[in-house]
Amino acid sequence: MTEQHTAKAPEGTPAGDLGRRLATRRTQLNLTREETADRAGMAPGYLRHLEEHPDASPGHGTLLRLAAALETTLSSLTGGDADLTPGPGLAGHSPVFTELSRTECGDLLSTHGVGRLAVPTEHGPVIVPVNYSVIDGTIVFRTAQGATPSLAAGCPVAFEIDRIDDAFSQGWSVLVRGHGRRVTDPDEARLLARRAHSTPWAGGRRDVWVRVEPYAVTGRRITV
């Protein structure tokens, strides 16, 4: 797995709920503001206004055009599905199931974000979300002493990321199986802190670094 970023960074600073969702979604699609505006049939300056002004109030028709341009749903674009489990829609017509190559899996993992970590406990396997980065071909994350993710140290674990597109009933997933190792060397921990993509969303004191060194990486994609 190689650490890289393929998406284009959004121009300006998105503000407000809608602005952040617009910028994030078009970045996921690797679209510039001009390309997105052209898809939606609007001026780039107006799209910039929507992204950078939290008090912007576009009409229903404008939101529908933006949702179509960004290949998503109106509910997702406006945050209406924030508390819903992804993938509630029906299966698409004539879905195509394919296995991802190791390179494709590495590229998807290297976008960084939130993944699901499965660890063994005395009461059985437990799955928890963690903010992760890919550094030197390994999955790394920061946690707290005694927290569930810290149980990955010294154990065989599984780590999974996925993306579900409800608008098109398609998506992908990548599964990593590997061995967890706690980082005990202070220099290595400082290096990870400098290179990590982000800090844990949960906040608080989380100074335990764990690496997952993969021995198997597989993935799958469903398209319509």
Question: Do 142 and 208 belong to one domain?
Answer: yes
Which has the higher per-residue pLDDT, 222 or 139? 139
CA distances (Å), 2 to each of 105, 112, 152, 158, in order? Answer: 10, 11, 22, 19
Question: Do 67 and 100 belong to one domain?
Answer: no
Task: Identify whether the C-beta of residue 110 lies closer than 8 Å to the C-beta of residue 137.
Answer: no
Beta-carbon contacts of residue 5 (< 8 Å; ≥ 6 apart): 110, 111, 112
CA distance 100 to 216: 13
State the CATH number of the domain containing residue 69: 1.10.260.40
For the chain, what is the mean pLDDT? 86
Q: Report the first-to-last Cα separation within the chain, whole angstroms.
A: 27
Quick one: pLDDT at residue 4? 44
Question: Do 124 and 158 belong to one domain?
Answer: yes
CA distance 161 to 176: 9
Quick one: pLDDT at residue 8? 43
Task: Identify whether the C-beta of residue 222 lies closer than 8 Å to the C-beta of residue 109.
Answer: no
CA 147 from chain center: how many Å? 22
Checking if the pLDDT of 151 tops 90, the result is yes
CA angle 170, 19, 115 (to 5 degrees): 45
Question: Do 117 and 56 belong to one domain?
Answer: no
Task: Dump pLDDT digits (tens) for 157-187.
Answer: 999 999 887 767 788 999 999 999 999 999 9
Checking if the pLDDT of 195 tops 80, the result is yes
Residues of the domain holding 32: 16-78
Task: Dump pLDDT digits (tens) for 78-122.
Answer: 887 666 666 666 676 778 889 999 999 999 998 888 999 999 998
Flag whether 11 is in a domain.
Answer: no
Element (H, E) at 182: strand 170-182
